Amino acid sequence: MGQAWAWTAWVWWSAAGLLGVIGLTLAAWSLFADRSRGRRRCRKCWYIMDGLDSLRCPECGWETTRISRLYGTRRRWRWFVFALILLGGGYACYLTPKGQRDGWVTVIPSSVLVLIVPTAELASDYPLSSHPLTVELYRRAAERRLAAWQWRVMLDRHFRTQGERISDLIAARRRWPEQVPLHVRARVPGLVFSITRPNRDDILCRVRLRSPQGPWVEFDRSRRDADALRSCADLGLPAPGVDQLIFDYELVIDDLVVWSTEIRKPVEVRGTIEDVIEPASDRDADLLARRLRPRLVRFNGPDVKIWVDVITPRLGEPNEMCVGYRAEVLRDGEVVAYSLASAAPRPKGRISTYAPDVDIPTRWLIPQPDTISDDGSTWLIRISSDVGLALIAAVKLGASFWPADEEGCRRFWEGQFTVPVERIETHW
């Protein structure tokens, strides 16, 4: 393209400037040139009515009730329309070089683009379409070139097709105990998450419980959270005895609310925690205790962290156990550090797995011990179950992987065990 494109571009831009100047001049003349300048004129035929006592035009019979209307400016609307045509032609000339270089779809205004993209192209949660209009729309969205109302139109059309359901944007247990703060997991729409990669730092969603109305809670889903407790938020106490909860949902991009909706979830608020999830059998609880591996790990420096792994790919029956626990580091019987964590299974074929990306290790810093083997102290890690954290794990992790018509994570691990610490492992 090179020099030839540059030469033709200047020709088009010069033509655009010429048409723009002519169009603006003609528009100004057609709207403002023929002012009254103290003359009284008929607003229909523009006959000069100076010296007449009547407010009726003797030429055409038009009559007004206010004398001030006889002093209006004459607008030549036909010439103004012609001026708009010239301005449109100038704008087309201005965009022609860009269309020749980048493709004509790039010169379509975003306000038009969000309306003419085929509806079927917006159905998928993933930007796999090769349709040029869809590709261009997603590119502008990724570059944050869409206005708030344009995001809203695109997402409304997306949810009206065969794409994801609006209710799936919030994950909540179908049963929740009374007098326990409601925890839910929320995410941005899959389409937004897909088309805005890799720059998602400015994208989040926020949710609040409508009745009783609670505070807005933000969920940063732009990057993957390593901790279930941070991505599963407390929305306050729900009203007891209800069978449905209503949430307000907002999508925020660049600190601007671009889309909002109401989401209704069938949540039955009754009973206690033990009525919602029940303790696992002694056999499964003992099996889990033997599979948890707590340790102290140093990462690339002096910091020491608590780390707990599940070292088996399968556990118990193929559907249900979730884990919430408190990990404590004891030195001669004194707690010197603790952290909280939770994990839940996901289905894989017909078994449940605690894969590394599902098991949530605890990564809180602890005071660095001088040594483990030479200071004469007894170092232990104590793991204690926590049913409240297990319930949170069921929301964050169980709801992520189990089908919508099933209620995964129906049991929780209950127990306590202690493991001696002989050394600090190093992880580089």
Q: pLDDT digits over 357-391, tens only?
A: 333 344 444 555 545 555 667 888 888 888 887 78
Model pTM? 0.68
Instruction: List the one residue out of 277, 378, 266, 384 whose CA is nearest residue 331.
Output: 378
- Judged on CB neighbours under 10 Å (0-12, 13-18, 19+), 90 is buried
Cα–Cα distances in angstroms (integers) from residue 364 to residues 172, 220, 226, 296, 304, in the given order = 27, 20, 12, 11, 8
Q: What is the per-residue pLDDT for 347? A: 52
Mean pLDDT lowest among 299-303, 323-327, 384-388, 411-415: 299-303
**Neighbour-count burial for 173-207, b at 16+ CB within 10 Å, e otherwise:** bebbbeebebbbbbbbbbbbbbbbeeebeebbbbb
Q: pLDDT digits over 60-83, tens only?
A: 888 887 887 788 888 888 999 999
Contact by Cβ (8 Å): 341, 389: yes
**Spatial distance between the Cα atoms of 347 and 408, rounded to a whole number of angstroms:** 9
Contact by Cβ (8 Å): 192, 203: yes
Q: Which two tokens stand for residue 253?
A: 């991009």
Q: What percent of the chain has pLDDT over 70?
A: 76
Spell out the domain ranges in the chain: 108-274, 277-427
The strand order across the sheet containing 170-171 reads 170-171, 183-186, 233-234
- Judged on CB neighbours under 10 Å (0-12, 13-18, 19+), 417 is middle
- 3-state class (DSSP) for residue 63: strand
The band of 87, judged by pLDDT with boundaries at 50, 70 and 90, is very high
**Spatial distance between the Cα atoms of 288 and 309, rounded to a whole number of angstroms:** 11
The answer on pLDDT for 112 being more than 70 is: yes
Phi/psi at 362 (5° precision): -90, 135
DSSP state of 373: S
Average pLDDT over residues 171-180: 84
Mean pLDDT lowest among 15-29, 74-88, 172-186, 312-326: 312-326
Q: pLDDT digits over 9-30, tens only?
A: 888 888 889 999 999 999 999 9
Class of the 108-274 domain? mainly beta
Phi/psi at 256 (5° precision): -125, 130
